[in-house]
Structure 1
Amino acid sequence: MKEARVNRNLKKRDLWSFASGEGASSITMNGINNFGMLFYTQILGLSPELAGLALSIALVWDAISDPLMGTISDRTRSRFGSRHPYMLAGGVLLPLTFLALWFVPSAVRGEQALFIYLLVANICMKTAFTVFVVPYTALGFEISKTDDDRARVQGYRWGLNMITNIIFGGLAWILFFGDGVAEDGTRLEGTKIHENYLTMGSVLSFATLLIILFCVVATYKFAKKGLPKLEDASMSSHVRAFVGDLKDVYSNRFVWVVFGFFGIAQLAGAIVGQVQMFTYIEFMQFSAYEKTFVHTGGMVGFMLGSLLLGIMVKRWDKKKTGYFAMLVSSFGSLALLAIFKGGLMEPVSTPLFDIKGNPFHLSAVVFVLFQALWWCGAGILIPLATSMMADISLIERLKTGEVSEGRYAAGFSFFLKAASAIAVFMTGYILKGVGYVSGQETQAPETIDTLALMTFTVGPVLMLVSFCVLRTYPITHKVLEEYRAKYET
């Protein structure tokens, strides 16, 4: 059955209602990305390569669970819709499993035991996240009825991701990781105090639960409750559908272009996001207030990029928007390289003022200006790639008349998590390769210098590779109009 064309854009309140669910994703995924490696290496003493391996190995399970969840969601017929029951179930389990990553039982000690615990807890959290995020992403594809809306929906979604990350990630340095005082009266770095992580884990878990409940209720009006029953609902039919969905998604050449360019760009952003945390502490020697200022500045850049996506896509189309984002990101990162590794400014410059005993340096202001450019580009690329996947899903629906949003949402979810997981894994070995020693109060000067160099150079190099892939993306506004003219009544 061909669907009639609708040219009505979504209202802003509907965009924000849907986007609220990304707040839960932001809290949990950014919570782990921002502080997980620090917690397991600095507090529990797990080697960085094992911490990275444990946080990334669930990728194998994701490869199965994501497409499986996509098929289940597409084929579900219930009086509550096909997406919302799973959004609620996964959303309730997500904060519980997130909490377990921080509250490690006292009996779990030693590298082997810590590795196993972190691995199991991470798999459980990733499963809960899959149950929530695949139907949630598919819902975003479904509610977008115009070409512009597919960019607007994802722009608002990822913009709210960063708004939430500003509150619970950027401000975490002040809210949760204020510096302490050691027994000898010296300053104790806040990220090296165990209790700070427990407070953070508790607050973020509760906030996640509240956001999930709000999103489910606020978007329930979009639930599709009148879908026709499946002609064959047997187990063998479900299995055939799962295999068919995998074939449909992974044999689509458009999908591989998006996966290719986005996977590399996301890998760049995730590696920079992981390594920069160590650069804040070891190379730049930021105080708690400086870390808050710099980290939040990057998030503001990401948020602005995401919220402006709809305007840019409407004016330039998606491929040119991607080019612009890569240029902005690379310029910001290379500028930091020239300034702080090229000798134009020392990481610890003259203090501008003092906040409760925490000096605030000019170098922090310069750092945040150019780091915000890096993250502004990243804030454009992630929702841009998501909206591209929504375009591909629309084309498939137009051609076949089948519900396809779940399978394509699952494919995108897998590659998003795959890039992040690979980045965490690589970060562990990057830290090991530069000589970082877990649990050590100070690192060797050459280790600190190399960490900063990696922070400033890995991103632009990977962006260049991503640019080469994006050049082959063929879908434009004109191409979508041609598909509509051919298949719509």
Structure 2
Amino acid sequence: MASSAATPPATVSHGVRLGYAVGSFCTANFTAVPGLLLLYYMTNVLAVPAVLAGLVLFLPKAWDLLVNPLVGRWSDRTSSRWGPRRPWLLAGAAVLPVSFAAMFSGPPLTGVPAAVFVGVAFLFASTGYALYEVPYKAMPAEMTGDYHERTSLLQWRMIFVAVSVALSGVVAPMLAGDSADGYRLMGITFAAILLAAMIGSFLGTARAPFIGRQRSDGTLRSQLAAVRTSRPFLWLLGLSSAQNLAAGVMLAGAPYFAAYVLRDTGATSTLFAALVGPMLVTMPLWVRLARRLDKRGAMILAGSLFLVGASLLIATPILGSLYAHLAVVSIGLGYAGLQLLQFSMLADVIAHDSTVSGERRGGVFTGLWTAVENAVSALGATVYGAVLATGGFISSNPENPVAQPDSAHTAVILGVTLVPALMSLAAVLMTLRYDLTADRLAALADDDTASGGTAPGDTSEAEGTTA
């Protein structure tokens, strides 16, 4: 990223906002497509038992708990003419797209061998994603020091997230169908989208302002220890994890809900249209709500909308498909706010730590954040797979369909409604304990300036020069 003057502008240019937002075609699609289709692909195309398939989705994400903090630390310590973060975007682009295509390549395998093949490909894809995602999510806190500008900056990103989720939820299932050939075509198509997004974000952030602190020279262990002392980060991580787990369970269950409750596999696409529609039109509203209610109040409102929608969805067998889609609209309204606000609040936490410590260690924060986020998202599929197994769900392939017992149908709907609703309730309760507000950040910044500390916006280091 390019260096700014000693006192950088509070706002970020439209070109940089757009360039940064393009990267969401990578982050959102890689999160959504495996979360939506990989479990179903394994159980209903490759005949992998549900419990084993859920485990395959989780284990590569557990690897993130190790590699993501390392990537964050490496990017914190990087010195280059491109800044500390942007070189890593290219590193991820060299690994992720090819591995993603391999995940859905439809090998002539079934059962355990197929699970091993998909698991190894997913492990490589997760590594490539870590190389990209961790530095990418650290960048907003280093572009502007303004509390509300960070939300406005990420508003652009969330519009791209909405489009990406639409691609994942509408286009990906249409391409995949129910065959190995369809999934192979989908994998190649979305691998190309990932590559284009990753290169686009690297080029688009070439002129981004940089207000980061000097790099930290402490060990990774000391940095992780410092992260654990950040109360705002721990509360934000907890509430976000609960909400992401709810979304992950619901995402994994969507194809089953469409197939076994609505009895229309094509409804997966229309359900996702109902989910992402609010994301496309409500971002300006959530930005205004964040200013009026502060981010914590807006986050509570968003979580409550998600909770209400998930709870209403349980009546679908009685009230039908139209009702289900209306309930998903409520979920989409809440999901839009949650996606915007949690990342804006993460940037606040990084800025708070920078003010308190006087060091640049946002990569360590985002490394730990993304590791937990990815593991929790994958755990959603594992949890849903366990719910299916408890209900006696029978795995199959397209050539040998089976009739599911009534208990499996019950598990399908409870896993998409009651389970995520309870998780969302836990997230709302935790949000009440989060206290990093605009007033508190402003007071800390004033104290830092008065004490002669390095104010946000100090760009004395040479590594932030123009790319």
- Common topology (TM > 0.5): yes
Which residue identity lines up with residue 403 of structure 2 in the other structure?
T
Aligned-residue offset at 1:30:
1.3
Distance change (3 Å), C-alpha of 1:120 and 1:306:
farther
Aligned counterparts, 1:252-291, within 5 A: 252-286=230-264, 288=266, 290-291=267-268
2:274 paired with 1:297: yes
Aligned-residue offset at 1:379:
2.2
2:310 paired with 1:333: yes
Aligned counterparts, 1:423-434, within 5 A: 423-434=380-391
Aligned-residue offset at 1:225:
11
Name the counterpart of 1:170: 170
Aligned-residue offset at 1:471:
0.9
SS of the equivalent of 2:186 reads: helix
1:416 to 365, 373, 379: 373
Deviations 1:416-449 (A, max 9, x none): 1121021121121111111111113432233223
The 8 Å contact of residues 45 and 179 in structure 2, kept in 1 or not, is answered as yes
Deviations 1:444-473 (A, max 9, x none): 233223311331212221121112211111
Aligned-residue offset at 1:337:
2.1
Cα distance in 1 for residues equivalent to 2:120 and 2:171: 29
Deviations 1:14-36 (A, max 9, x none): 32221110111222221111111
The 8 Å contact of residues 26 and 165 in structure 1, kept in 2 or not, is answered as yes
SS of the equivalent of 1:8 reads: coil
Aligned counterparts, 1:131-146, within 5 A: 131-146=131-146
Aligned-residue offset at 1:332:
1.7
Aligned counterparts, 1:14-93, within 5 A: 14-93=16-95
Aligned counterparts, 1:227-266, within 5 A: 240-266=218-244
1:369 to 317, 321, 326: 326
Aligned-residue offset at 1:229:
8.4
Which deviates further from its counterpart, 162-171 or 24-33? 162-171
1:476 to 430, 437, 453: 437
Structure 2: tracts of 5 or more residues without a match? 451-467
Cα distance in 2 for residues equivalent to 1:382 and 1:166: 15
Distance change (3 Å), C-alpha of 1:287 and 1:124:
closer
Cα distance in 2 for residues equivalent to 1:469 and 1:305: 24
Name the counterpart of 1:360: none
The 8 Å contact of residues 142 and 212 in structure 2, kept in 1 or not, is answered as no
Cα distance in 2 for residues equivalent to 1:227 and 1:455: 44
Which residue identity lines up with residue 328 of structure 1 in the other structure?
L
Aligned-residue offset at 1:151:
1.7
Aligned-residue offset at 1:38:
1.2
Deviations 1:120-139 (A, max 9, x none): 21111111000000111111
The 8 Å contact of residues 267 and 419 in structure 1, kept in 2 or not, is answered as yes
Aligned-residue offset at 1:314:
0.9
Deviations 1:176-222 (A, max 9, x none): 14xxxxxxxxxxxx3x2221101111111111111211111111112
Aligned pairs, how many?
442
Aligned counterparts, 1:68-467, within 5 A: 68-106=70-108, 109-174=109-174, 176-177=175-176, 190=177, 192-222=178-208, 240-286=218-264, 288=266, 290-306=267-283, 308-338=285-315, 340-341=316-317, 343=318, 345=319, 347=320, 363=321, 365-439=322-396, 440-467=401-428
TM-score, normalised to structure 1's length? 0.85
Distance change (3 Å), C-alpha of 1:113 and 1:173:
closer
Which deviates further from its counterpart, 4-13 or 32-41? 4-13
Name the counterpart of 1:187: none
Aligned-residue offset at 1:265:
0.9
The 8 Å contact of residues 266 and 382 in structure 1, kept in 2 or not, is answered as no
Deviations 1:56-100 (A, max 9, x none): 112332111111111100111012221111101112311111011
Cα distance in 2 for residues equivalent to 1:287 and 1:419: 26
The 8 Å contact of residues 9 and 145 in structure 1, kept in 2 or not, is answered as no
Aligned-residue offset at 1:270:
0.8
Cα distance in 1 for residues equivalent to 2:291 and 2:285: 10
Percentage of matched positions with identical amino acids: 21
Aligned-residue offset at 1:105:
3.6
Cα distance in 2 for residues equivalent to 1:229 and 1:426: 39
Structure 1: tracts of 5 or more residues without a match? 178-189, 231-236, 348-362
Cα distance in 2 for residues equivalent to 1:375 and 1:442: 32
The 8 Å contact of residues 215 and 361 in structure 2, kept in 1 or not, is answered as no
Cα distance in 1 for residues equivalent to 2:387 and 2:284: 33
Distance change (3 Å), C-alpha of 1:303 and 1:264:
farther
The 8 Å contact of residues 20 and 211 in structure 1, kept in 2 or not, is answered as yes
Which residue identity lines up with residue 204 of structure 2 in the other structure?
A
Aligned-residue offset at 1:304:
4.1
Cα distance in 2 for residues equivalent to 1:173 and 1:97: 19
Cα distance in 2 for residues equivalent to 1:287 and 1:486: 58
Aligned-residue offset at 1:116:
2.2
Cα distance in 1 for residues equivalent to 2:231 and 2:223: 15
The 8 Å contact of residues 159 and 307 in structure 1, kept in 2 or not, is answered as no
Aligned-residue offset at 1:4:
6.2
Cα distance in 1 for residues equivalent to 2:212 and 2:290: 33
The alignment's C-alpha RMSD in Å is 2.3
The 8 Å contact of residues 290 and 298 in structure 2, kept in 1 or not, is answered as yes
Distance change (3 Å), C-alpha of 1:261 and 1:410:
same
Aligned-residue offset at 1:328:
1.1
Cα distance in 1 for residues equivalent to 2:59 and 2:304: 32
Cα distance in 2 for residues equivalent to 1:315 and 1:167: 32
Cα distance in 2 for residues equivalent to 1:204 and 1:389: 28
The 8 Å contact of residues 154 and 340 in structure 2, kept in 1 or not, is answered as yes
